Chain A
Amino acid sequence: MKSEETFIGYKGTTLKWMKNQSLKVWDEIEIIKEGTSLKGVILPRSELADPNFISLKLPTGYNIGFDPIKTKKIKKIGHFEAKYRIPKTEISQKPNLPLIPILGCGGTIASRLDYQTGGTIPALSPEELFSSFPEIADLARVETHLLFEIFSENLNFDHYERILKAIDDIIKTRSPQGIVLTHGTDTMAFTASALTFAINNPPIPIVITGSQRSSDRPSSDAFFNLYNSVLYAASPRARKQVVIIMHEESSDTSCTIHTGTRVRKMHSSRRDTFKTIGESPLGRIINGKIQYSRKDKVIESKDSHYHVSTKFERMVGLINHYPGIQSDVIDFYVNAGYKGLVLAGTGLGHFSSNLIPVIRKAVNNGLIVVMTTQCLQGFTGLSVYENGRQLQKAGVIPLSNILPEIAYIKLAYLLGNYRESEKIKELMKMNLKGEIKSRERFCEF
């Protein structure tokens, strides 16, 4: 055992006390206290927990912490090390089934309990996930590729690049029927839109899925989501575009298929957190059947060839308007050399009049500044009120009904791939991949 592992999580006087008593993690001990005693195994301790206690697993399976200062005597009984390892079972693959690679990008779906410390850690590889859910072998030949093990709030454009390269590589070398990505839900919608913009004319369906309850829980939504995602990706009826597939409702009865550029996480913890905004979802999967609710297809660019771009501009910002916002917020982006700014304005797309001079300055400095609505639903309308007209005059580009986060990804993608600022502005206003709707039906709110 490495020396730092001997005392995982312990520090200060507690650590000193343990060293004095020559105790280490996994030692089986009996603590003698005033009028009583307890037996147990010393566990590693979370760095964030109260430093004055030592964690003990009792023979009943319960965990407690004890205060060494209030302990009269310690008897060392033995040493017992628990090793948690999920066996990687070889599942016999059916050769006549379509090939579906699963790409592991971290998140709750690929996280498991750290039995020693009690925290959730992103460590379950797709192989491990697959051995927990053998039923998937009936749908497709599955192979797993672990790209990284992080929670999705830590994802950035570097990760998008890695995902895109992996997808491109798999498409070219493995000719799969479809691809499934397992991903954290927090920023899943950002990734979905990044992939949608960056992959031109995908030859196969690309499905992103995740879970709101980790797969070490009997009630986890991981299996249902993954099962339906593989089912969809393997189906000849699947559309060749990037979609998110997650629970449709709290019940384990159906999943929704969301277009990658109109979807948003709308609840911090519910299973049915993802909602398509401003239109009805692309479809649903119920009892193993795919049902489409829309006929429209993703707009195909004039360039009908499949190709992948991995370039994104990092110097793009996203600012929400709030009462009392100061102009130095915008100044910061200008001075730091940002190239694009997405504004999420109030209502039809407004920012306080105080900020118009500094926004004008940003535009004059060459930044592309676009306006979206923080209402999420409905269109921007910068010609209706004076404030809007002033913003337009200052050079702000209104972006119809695109979602603010999608506008952010789109702008980063366009700035990364086009030089001419006029071209970028023109493309920002166009509907490239279903991100802008020209009409909103009455029932879609």
Chain B
Amino acid sequence: MTGKIHDYKALGFKAGIEIHAQLSTKRKLFCHCPAVLSQDDPQSFVQRKFRPVLGEMGIFDPALLVEFEKGHTIFYEVFDSVCTYELDETPPFKINEDALYASVKLAKMLNCHIVEETSICRKNYLDGSVPCGFQRTALVGYDGYISLKKEQTELEEKKLVISWIYIEEDAARKDNDRSKDKNIFFKLDRLGIPLIEIVTDHNLYSPTEVVSAARTLGMLIKSSGIVRKGLGTLRQDINVSIAKGDRVELKGIQLLDLIPNAIDLEIQRQKGLISIQEELSKRNIQPKDILLQILDATEIFSNSSSKMVQSAFKREQRVFLLPIAGFNGLLGRKLQPNKRFGTELSDRVKAFTNLKGIIHSDEDLMKYNFSEKEIQKLSRYIREEDAYVIVIGKKEEAEKALTCVHERIIAAIQGVHPETRQVDSEGISTFTRDLHGRSRLYPDTDLPPLVIDPKRVKIIQESLPEHFWDRIDKISKKYSITESVAEDLVYKDRADVFEKLMQKKAPLKTVITTLTQTLTAISREGVNIDEITDDHLMEIFRELRSKRVAKEAIPEIIIQLGTDSRRSVKEIVSKFGGGMSEEELNQLIVKILNKSRSLIKERGMDAFSPLMGLVMKDARGKIDGKIVSDTLRKLLKERV
């Protein structure tokens, strides 16, 4: 994942970032509810249907129409922590000034200009994630910058332009456990938690620059002291394009490490789409050649042994086919790992209709258990140079699906289609929706324009916290640690606890190992280290200092805390009697080896496993297992 597999300059690669972060205010943005997520079961459910509204120009926004046509019914889960505002039953209250001026603070840290008077605007959403059908949002700052430092790359020092900073309310959380088919459930607790959105200019010219920008911005936000910490509180979207392609928004990238891969895969996808466009141009295929001519192919399958078809017929569904002129071979073109152009069509159908996908002529049709005869009959619908797409469903739904396919095919003749895509943990993306138009934004009628007090802005400007890069510099000098360790501490948000531990005279080497290496290693093993608070770490070192625990036991304590954060450090320590030093381990092993002479004589080094079992009986949880096995192996060797 080096992010160097393409020639970015030659491709005309450009990217910009959008970062969303939850502000750590006590209450929500437009009502007086606490800004907390609920762990409880919902108290009640409210059921709603949304309708598209006519926009400023008297037409329905097409993207909103798509949501409406899915025919979803939305259920809201109501908790004790929400009020009638979240349910769209009470107009908004005055904006939360703590949140507003926190966003001003961040805007100032990013060298932005502050708008003199802002209007709360409405941004339409019809997916149900906001009960009123729009998110309230307002512009706070604009035209700022930060300098990206020359990092581990050959990158020159660079000015990242911050275009806009908005304050807005977070949306409701989708409840995937309850949602089924056309009934979509949302938890209302997150709705209304203040969010800031930072939008950068599109002046990032390589994945390395994007990572550097995302890291620096993310760190600056985290170190500003105004945002909530923990998983999912900071979300970044990346807008990517190449010269011959178009703007695609990549959403849901939680880890910085994933950025280069996600970008490279998107470039690969756009290149693939461009090659399809070029091939079509060679074949002289025009949009007018692609007809929306939907055929009923049900009869072909009247005696089909395909279980899929049989069960569809039982539900009174039919088979529909759309011939696609001149597309032979193109639906099978690979765009990303396990994703072909056919997958793009299928993803779109899944997003716009309630169908599960499509079948197309460039894939192995035997996997659907179609007979050779059936496949042959299907191919009679088209010419050799054509392709076809099949959907199985009720007539209306199937026609809608094939209309989607038709639109996407036409768009492919123009090359890359601007859209929003969700990125998975491998960096592979899936279509979610077309990019929203601007017409879905309009002023909120419920709240008057808001003057941002210049006096308060001035006070904020004069008391801005130090930038994190200054802090790295400071702690590296003060504690004589290398800059990369200091950076690591700051990036991992452990600088505060580090300084506190230093004040308590905790052993420097152990502290650094724990904060920078142990925690990371444990997290890689899948333990949730977000649950490990600064207080936990302080307590661990207090136990260490009073010799109730050996330093070798620290990893095990952290693992146990990560598995169940409700337990205190004391509880964990008392359970395994304070841990074990290497010296104590040595003694234990010698004792066991002495007792097992005959076993060692009989099996030699093969006695390792049973001996390890015996040692671990006493050592488990008290000292790192690797130290145990290393020591045992060493001492056993001496005796064999």
Same complex for A and B? Answer yes
A interface residue numbers (CB < 8 A to B): 33, 35-38, 46, 48-50, 53, 55, 58-67, 70, 82, 84-87, 113-115, 117-120, 132, 212-220, 223-224, 250-253, 269-271
Take A60-B438, A218-B53, A270-B89 as given contacts and tell me if A49 and B448 are in contact as well, using a CB distance cutoff of 8 Å.
yes
Within 8 A of A (CB), among B97-152: 113, 115-119, 121, 124-126, 131-134, 137-139, 142-143
Q: Are B445 and A120 closer than 8 Å at their CB atoms?
A: yes
Q: How far is B44's CA from A251's CA once the two chains are assembled, in angstroms?
A: 11
Q: Are B448 and A46 closer than 8 Å at their CB atoms?
A: yes
Contacts of A252 in B (CB 8 A): 47-49
Q: Are A118 and B89 closer than 8 Å at their CB atoms?
A: no
From A33, A86, A214, give the contact of B54 (CB < 8 A). Answer: A86
By beta carbon, the residue of chain A nearest B57 is A84
Q: How far is B200's CA from A414's CA once the two chains are assembled, in angstroms?
A: 70
B58 proximal to A (CB < 8 A):
yes
B499 proximal to A (CB < 8 A):
no
Contact with A along B37-73 (1 / 0, CB 8 A): 0000000011111111110111000001000000000
Contacts of A217 in B (CB 8 A): 53, 132-134
Q: Are A132 and B54 closer than 8 Å at their CB atoms?
A: yes
Q: How far is B76's CA from A253's CA once the two chains are assembled, in angstroms?
A: 13
Contact with A along B199-239 (1 / 0, CB 8 A): 00000000000000000000000000000000000000000
From B90, B115, B117, B445, give the contact of A118 (CB < 8 A). Answer: B445
Q: Are A251 and B48 closer than 8 Å at their CB atoms?
A: yes
B18 → A minimal CB distance (Å): 12
Contacts of B451 in A (CB 8 A): 50, 53, 65
From B116, B121, B125, give the contact of A53 (CB < 8 A). Answer: B116
**Total number of B residues with any Cβ neighbor in A under 8 Å:** 52
Q: How far is B64's CA from A251's CA once the two chains are assembled, in angstroms?
A: 21
Contacts of A58 in B (CB 8 A): 139
Contacts of A118 in B (CB 8 A): 119, 442-445, 449
Contacts of A119 in B (CB 8 A): 445
Q: How far is B161's CA from A426's CA once the two chains are assembled, in angstroms?
A: 80
Take A84-B58, A269-B89, A271-B89 as given contacts and tell me if A62 and B139 are in contact as well, using a CB distance cutoff of 8 Å.
yes
Q: Are B50 and A218 closer than 8 Å at their CB atoms?
A: yes
Contacts of A59 in B (CB 8 A): 438
Q: Are A84 and B56 closer than 8 Å at their CB atoms?
A: yes
Q: Are B443 and A85 closer than 8 Å at their CB atoms?
A: no
B interface residue numbers (CB < 8 A to A): 45-54, 56-58, 64, 84, 87-91, 113, 115-119, 121, 124-126, 131-134, 137-139, 142-143, 164, 166, 438-445, 448-449, 451
Contacts of B47 in A (CB 8 A): 251-253
Contacts of A66 in B (CB 8 A): 115-117
B13 → A minimal CB distance (Å): 24
From B46, B164, B438, B449, give the contact of A65 (CB < 8 A). Answer: B449
By beta carbon, the residue of chain A nearest B121 is A62
Contacts of B137 in A (CB 8 A): 62
Q: Are B442 and A219 closer than 8 Å at their CB atoms?
A: no
Q: Are A219 and B116 closer than 8 Å at their CB atoms?
A: no
Q: How far is B58's CA from A87's CA once the two chains are assembled, in angstroms?
A: 6
Q: Are B50 and A219 closer than 8 Å at their CB atoms?
A: yes
Take A53-B116, A63-B119, A251-B46 as given contacts and tell me if A215 and B53 are in contact as well, using a CB distance cutoff of 8 Å.
yes
Q: How far is B91's CA from A119's CA once the two chains are assembled, in angstroms?
A: 14
Q: Which 7 A-B pairs have the closest CB atoms?
A: A218-B133, A118-B443, A65-B117, A61-B441, A63-B119, A251-B47, A61-B438
Contacts of A33 in B (CB 8 A): 113
Q: Are B121 and A219 closer than 8 Å at their CB atoms?
A: no
Take A35-B113, A218-B133 as given contacts and tell me if A63 and B54 are in contact as well, using a CB distance cutoff of 8 Å.
no
Q: Are A64 and B84 closer than 8 Å at their CB atoms?
A: no
Q: How far is B120's CA from A64's CA once the two chains are assembled, in angstroms?
A: 9
B140 → A minimal CB distance (Å): 10
Contacts of A220 in B (CB 8 A): 51, 53
By beta carbon, the residue of chain B nearest A54 is B117
Q: Are A63 and B50 closer than 8 Å at their CB atoms?
A: no
Q: Are A86 and B58 closer than 8 Å at their CB atoms?
A: yes
Q: Are A214 and B118 closer than 8 Å at their CB atoms?
A: no
User: What are 26 A-B pairs at a CB distance below 8 A?
Assistant: A36-B143, A38-B142, A46-B448, A49-B448, A49-B449, A50-B117, A50-B451, A53-B449, A61-B442, A65-B119, A82-B57, A86-B54, A87-B58, A113-B445, A118-B442, A118-B445, A118-B449, A120-B445, A132-B54, A216-B53, A217-B53, A218-B125, A219-B88, A224-B49, A250-B89, A251-B45
Contacts of A269 in B (CB 8 A): 84, 89-91
By beta carbon, the residue of chain B nearest A250 is B46
A91 → B minimal CB distance (Å): 15
By beta carbon, the residue of chain A nearest B164 is A60
Q: How far is B141's CA from A38's CA once the two chains are assembled, in angstroms?
A: 12
Contacts of B53 in A (CB 8 A): 132, 215-218, 220
Contacts of A132 in B (CB 8 A): 53-54
Contacts of B448 in A (CB 8 A): 46, 48-49
Contacts of B441 in A (CB 8 A): 60-62
With most chain B CB atoms within 10 A of its CB, the pick from A33, A114, A118, A218 is: A218
A51 → B minimal CB distance (Å): 11
Contacts of A84 in B (CB 8 A): 56-58
Q: Are A115 and B88 closer than 8 Å at their CB atoms?
A: no
Q: How far is B47's CA from A117's CA once the two chains are assembled, in angstroms?
A: 32
Take A218-B52, A269-B91 as given contacts and tell me if A36 and B142 are in contact as well, using a CB distance cutoff of 8 Å.
yes
With most chain B CB atoms within 10 A of its CB, the pick from A46, A65, A118 is: A118
Q: How far is B56's CA from A114's CA once the two chains are assembled, in angstroms?
A: 9
By beta carbon, the residue of chain B nearest A133 is B51
Q: How far is B451's CA from A67's CA once the two chains are assembled, in angstroms?
A: 10
A85 → B minimal CB distance (Å): 5
Take A86-B54, A250-B89 as given contacts and tell me if A218 and B64 are in contact as well, using a CB distance cutoff of 8 Å.
yes
Q: Are B444 and A218 closer than 8 Å at their CB atoms?
A: no
A9 → B minimal CB distance (Å): 11
B506 → A minimal CB distance (Å): 46
By beta carbon, the residue of chain B nearest A86 is B58
Q: How far is B47's CA from A36's CA once the two chains are assembled, in angstroms?
A: 47
With most chain A CB atoms within 10 A of its CB, the pick from B50, B56, B90, B124 is: B56
Q: How far is B128's CA from A252's CA once the two chains are assembled, in angstroms?
A: 13
Beyond A215-B53, A218-B124, 11 extra complex contacts between A and B, CB < 8 Å: A36-B142, A62-B121, A86-B58, A115-B442, A132-B53, A217-B134, A218-B126, A218-B134, A219-B132, A219-B133, A252-B48
With most chain A CB atoms within 10 A of its CB, the pick from B46, B125, B126 is: B46
B51 → A minimal CB distance (Å): 6
By beta carbon, the residue of chain B nearest A45 is B449
Contacts of A85 in B (CB 8 A): 58
Contacts of B50 in A (CB 8 A): 218-219
Q: How far is B48's CA from A220's CA once the two chains are assembled, in angstroms?
A: 10
Q: How far is B445's CA from A63's CA once the two chains are assembled, in angstroms?
A: 13
Contacts of B116 in A (CB 8 A): 53, 64-67, 70
Q: How far is B112's CA from A36's CA once the two chains are assembled, in angstroms?
A: 10
Q: How far is B121's CA from A60's CA once the two chains are assembled, in angstroms?
A: 11
By beta carbon, the residue of chain B nearest A272 is B89
Q: How far is B409's CA from A69's CA once the two chains are assembled, in angstroms?
A: 54
